[in-house]
Amino acid sequence: MRPPLIAGNWKMNKTPSEARALLADLVPRVSGAAGVEVAVAPPFPALEAAAAAVAGSPVRLAAQNLHWEPAGAFTGEVSATMLADLGVAYVIVGHSERRQLFGDTDETVARRAAAALDAEITPIVCVGESLDERESGRALDVVAAQVRGSVGPLGAAGAGRVVLAYEPVWAIGTGRTATSAQAQEVHARIRSVLGELAGPDRAAEVRILYGGSVKPDNVAGLMAEPDVDGALVGGASLDAETFASVVCFRV
Ligand code: 13P
């Protein structure tokens, strides 16, 4: 019902030449991974090289952000139309690094997600609590509010077309992963909020990825949880062998 999706978020890493080399190594390693969808999200300048490198393979292309306007005087921004023309299938929106460092809010995240959907690109909408919010017992409420604010404006049909990514900020790049039980608890809450927004049938189809120090040795435990439908992988996606081990978590 929800085919697992493992996506590599390269963040601000890899030149176009490095992307070509990484994908030449990665594509043959993951092409046989049956029943798992694989995507890579290179930085914008490497997207075209990456598109050529994954052409004809099952590896899908993702971008890391987009602007909500289709074109115009928005220096430095990239539109959904441009990404669609490159063959981009997914776009990450509202990553905690964009929320913390570049001013993204639930409202701007929702606008980005809507623009992606209009261009037939699936937004991967990121949510997640800070360490302080977790330690003060507010994780579930914070994440629920982010889902309502970032996905609610898309309407019921739109909310049913997104991918969600739960990325606790304290687990990103820290080597500290949420336990499978912690991830499942939050994912279940996200699905229940999606049920309010999109209806239970659509909510049951939405994939909810976990992100935050996913590695070859912890991915299987996370994926065993009923509401964990994939992973958004940072550091471990920058090496072909390591990322392929994450993708091939079943073997
Ligand atoms: P790490 O896997 O490096 O912790 O990063 C997670 C992340 O932010 C993916 O979007």
Largest CA distance in the chain: 49
In a domain, 110, yes or no: yes
For 163, what's the count of Cα atoms within 13 Å in the CB-facing half-sphere? 31
Residue in 101, 3, 8 with CA at minimum distance from that of residue 54: 8
Find tokens 């997600």 and name the residue: 113
Question: What does each C-alpha distance from 41 to 10, 14, 107, 178, 219 come to in angstroms?
Answer: 6, 11, 23, 23, 19
In a domain, 209, yes or no: yes
Question: What does each C-alpha distance from 175 to 91, 100, 126, 226, 249 come to in angstroms?
Answer: 25, 19, 19, 23, 18
Dist. CA 11 → ligand 1 center (Å): 9
Dist. CA 144 → ligand 1 center (Å): 21
Residue in 230, 107, 100 with CA at minimum distance from that of residue 164: 230
Which domain CATH number covers 181?
A: 3.20.20.70
Of the candidates 95, 97, 129, 225, the residue annotated as catalytic is 95
Q: How many domains does the chain have?
A: 1
Measured by CA distance, the residue closest to atom 9 of ligand 1 is 234
Domain ranges, residue 165: 66-247
pLDDT value of residue 75: 98
In a domain, 76, yes or no: yes
- Is residue 111 within 8 Å of residue 151, measured between CB atoms? no
How many whole angstroms separate alpha carbon 151 and alpha carbon 190?
11
In a domain, 48, yes or no: no
Q: Which residues line ligand 1 (CB under 6 A)?
A: 9, 95, 167, 172-173, 211-214, 232-236
pLDDT value of residue 50: 98
In a domain, 180, yes or no: yes
pLDDT value of residue 241: 98
95: annotated active-site residue: yes
Of the candidates 97, 167, 187, 225, the residue annotated as catalytic is 167
For 1-121, strand residue ranges (E) read 5-9, 37-41, 60-63, 90-93
Find tokens 């606790």 and name the residue: 168
pLDDT in tens, 74-133: 999 999 999 999 999 999 999 999 999 999 999 999 999 999 999 999 999 999 999 999
In a domain, 39, yes or no: no
pLDDT in tens, 193-216: 999 999 999 999 999 999 999 999
How many whole angstroms separate alpha carbon 107 and alpha carbon 177?
28
pLDDT score of 239 more than 80 = yes
pLDDT score of 251 more than 80 = no
Residue 67 gets which letter from DSSP? B
pLDDT in tens, 117-162: 999 999 999 999 999 999 999 999 999 999 999 999 999 999 999 9
pLDDT value of residue 175: 86
pLDDT value of residue 66: 98
In a domain, 168, yes or no: yes
Say how many residues make up the chain. Answer: 251
Question: What does each C-alpha distance from 60 to 35, 47, 55 come to in angstroms?
Answer: 14, 11, 9
Dist. CA 163 → ligand 1 center (Å): 16
Rounded mean pLDDT of the chain? 97
**How confident is residue 34, by pLDDT bands cut at 50, 70 and 90?**
confident
| Those residues with Cβ within 8 angstroms of residue 30's Cβ, 6 or more apart along the chain or in another chain | 38, 58, 59, 243, 244, 247, 248
Residue in 149, 191, 132 with CA at minimum distance from that of residue 166: 191
In a domain, 57, yes or no: no
**How confident is residue 250, by pLDDT bands cut at 50, 70 and 90?**
confident
- Mean pLDDT in residue range 218-242: 98
pLDDT value of residue 167: 98
Measured by CA distance, the residue closest to atom 1 of ligand 1 is 234
Q: Which token pair is 145?
A: 């509010």
